[in-house]
């Protein structure tokens, strides 16, 4: 009876708890939350000042008593309390106008492939503490494949590369399971740090993370261009401590990111090397799919195709594949029971 009451006043959710962004899908409405995974906290009062986009605007501009927290690292929770508060804030936003005391949604949430049992339980506990009545866990790469409308149930090899902010996940899927995979920390945030380090080493200019992120988005490319794009950037001169402006071009940024891009392509090759030949043949015929924010880096698909000799395409709306997949699983739970991971509570019972 109580469950029916909660179901009546709650909107069931699909959640992508990402290192850089949190996306939330609401049943029958689509993706309604797309916010940076950032929280600003007043350390004097222990109260949240801002969440998401509002908190992002404060990065690098706060007084000592306002702390900017990014509570997720490499796709897992690094600060449980802040993550719980952030999720609670987003769930309350989704249920604005409802009886907040009765909002206890069912949630499908994606988790990384290399997550530990302790980290997995932290995700469950954070969601329950934020107000969820049921938490269904699914591997992010599987949710991504569902969101990209890939045939994961068939006896066919499907290769997907999810280029996120904190991690890059490479996997070959078949028959509702992950056959071979690799997870690496060389991802979007690493590319941003590459740019900061390059400009520091070559020009004695210290850039802020937001400026480096903008440079990556505007000048970032892995392929030579006919017209070389340029951009004015501002930072602090490391020699005299004063503000300085200079011009960077995409050739320099490609050089800055080159080592990390090469590491990603080499790891993609290493996954293919341990994949059964029958599945490799399928992948060669069907190609691989890129998802995540990193797939928007200009030329990355061509670079991977050149290295692997396999056709590569970028999924439609690659940044929301995980949350859209979680939403599809949420709306068809019975059809996707095989890819739902057992809750840690059930695992604990089996060991008693």
Band of the pLDDT at 96, cuts 50, 70, 90?
Answer: confident
pLDDT for residue 211 is more than 80? yes
Please report, rounded to a whole number, the percentage of residues in the chain having pLDDT higher than 90: 84
- By the 10 Å C-beta count (0-12 exposed, 13-18 middle, 19+ buried), 40 is classed as buried
Give the helix/strand (H/E) hosting 55. Answer: helix 53-56
Please give the pLDDT value at position 1: 45
Q: How confident is the model at residue 255 (pLDDT cuts 50, 70, 90)?
A: very high
The more confident residue out of 240 and 351 is 240
Q: What is the pTM of this model?
A: 0.90
Residues of the chain with CATH 3.90.640.10: 188-256
DSSP for 131-186, written as a single string:
T-SEEEEEEHHHHHHHHTT--TTSSS-EEEEEE-SS-EEEEEEETTEEEEEEEES-
SS3 of residue 316 by DSSP: coil
243-276 exposure pattern, b = at least 16 Cβ within 10 A, e = fewer: ebeeebebebbbebbeebbeebbebbeebbeebe
Question: What pLDDT sits at residue 351?
Answer: 33
Please report which confidence band the pLDDT of residue 349 belongs to, taking 50, 70 and 90 as the band edges.
very low
Going across the sheet that includes 30-36, the strands are 30-36, 21-26, 13-17, 106-111, 134-139, 340-341
Query: How large is the average pLDDT for residues 338-351?
Result: 66
Average the pLDDT over each of 56-60, 178-182, 215-219, 312-316 and give the range with the smallest value. Answer: 56-60
Q: Once rounded to an integer, what is the mean pLDDT over residues 173-195?
A: 96
The per-residue pLDDT for range 68-83, each reduced to its tens digit, is 999 998 878 999 999 9
Instruction: Please give the structure tokens belonging to residue 337.
Output: 């029971």
Q: Residues spanned by CATH 3.30.420.40 within the chain?
A: 2-143+321-345, 150-186+261-318
DSSP type of residue 229: P
Asked whether the predicted pLDDT for residue 352 surpasses 70, the reply is no
Supply φ then ψ for residue 6, to 5 degrees: -60, -45
- Token pair, residue 274, equals 């341990």
**pLDDT tens-place string over residues 29-41:** 899 999 999 999 9
Q: What angle do CA 204, 207, 212 make, to 5 degrees?
A: 130
Matching CATH number, 2-143+321-345, of 2.60.40.1180, 3.20.20.140, 3.30.420.40, 3.65.10.10: 3.30.420.40
pLDDT at 260 over 50: yes
Bridge-partner residues for 169, per DSSP? 162, 183
Task: Tell me the pLDDT band of 241, cut-offs 50, 70 and 90.
Answer: very high
pLDDT of residue 308: 95
pLDDT value of residue 342: 81
321-332 pLDDT, tens digit each: 999 999 999 999
- Token look-up 């991802």 returns 187
The pLDDT of residue 5: 43
Cβ neighbours of residue 153 closer than 8 Å, sequence gap 6 or more: 175, 176
Rounded to an integer, the average pLDDT of 307-336 is: 95
Average confidence score pLDDT of the chain: 91
- Domain 188-256 classification at class level: alpha beta
Task: Say which range, 9-13, 189-193, 218-222, has the weakest mean pLDDT.
Answer: 9-13
Q: How many CB atoms lie within 10 A of CB 279?
A: 20
Give the pLDDT band of residue 149 (cuts 50, 70, 90): very high
Given this model, what pLDDT does residue 69 score? Answer: 93
150-186+261-318: CATH superfamily: ATPase, nucleotide binding domain (3.30.420.40)
């Amino acid at each position: 009876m109580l469950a029916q009451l909660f179901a009546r006043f709650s909107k069931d959710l699909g959640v992508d708890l990402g290192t850089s962004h949190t996306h939330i899908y609401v049943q029958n409405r689509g993706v309604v939350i797309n916010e940076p995974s950032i929280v600003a906290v007043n350390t004097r009062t222990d109260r949240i000042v801002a969440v998401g986009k509002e908190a992002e605007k404060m990065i690098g501009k706060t007084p000592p008593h306002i702390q900017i927290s990014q509570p997720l690292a490499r796709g897992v929770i690094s600060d449980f309390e802040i993550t719980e508060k952030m999720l609670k804030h987003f769930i309350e936003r989704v249920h604005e106008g409802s009886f907040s005391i009765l909002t206890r949604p069912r949630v499908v949430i994606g988790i990384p492939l290399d997550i530990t049992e302790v980290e997995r339980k932290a995700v469950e506990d954070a969601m329950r503490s934020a107000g969820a009545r049921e938490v269904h866990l699914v591997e992010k790469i599987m949710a991504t494949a569902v969101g990209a409308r890939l045939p994961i149930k068939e006896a066919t090899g499907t290769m997907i590369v999810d280029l996120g902010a904190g991690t890059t996940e490479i996997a070959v899927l078949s028959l509702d399971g992950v056959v071979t995979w690799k997870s690496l920390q060389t991802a979007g945030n690493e590319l941003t740090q590459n740019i900061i380090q390059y400009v520091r080493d070559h020009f004695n200019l210290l850039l802020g993370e937001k400026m480096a992120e903008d440079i990556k988005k505007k000048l970032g490319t892995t392929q030579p261009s006919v017209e070389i794009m340029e951009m004015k950037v501002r930072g602090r001169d490391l020699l005299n401590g004063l503000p300085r402006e200079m011009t960077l071009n995409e050739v320099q940024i490609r050089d800055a990111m080159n080592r990390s891009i090469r590491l990603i392509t080499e790891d993609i090759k290493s996954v293919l090397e341990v994949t059964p030949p029958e599945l490799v043949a399928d992948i060669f015929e069907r190609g691989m799919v890129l998802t995540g924010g990193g797939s928007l880096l200009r030329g990355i698909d061509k670079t991977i195709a050149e290295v692997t000799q396999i056709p590569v395409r970028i999924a439609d709306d690659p940044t929301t594949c995980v949350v859209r997949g979680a939403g599809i699983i949420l709306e068809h739970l019975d059809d996707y029971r095989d890819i739902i991971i057992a809750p840690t509570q059930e695992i604990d019972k089996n060991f008693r």
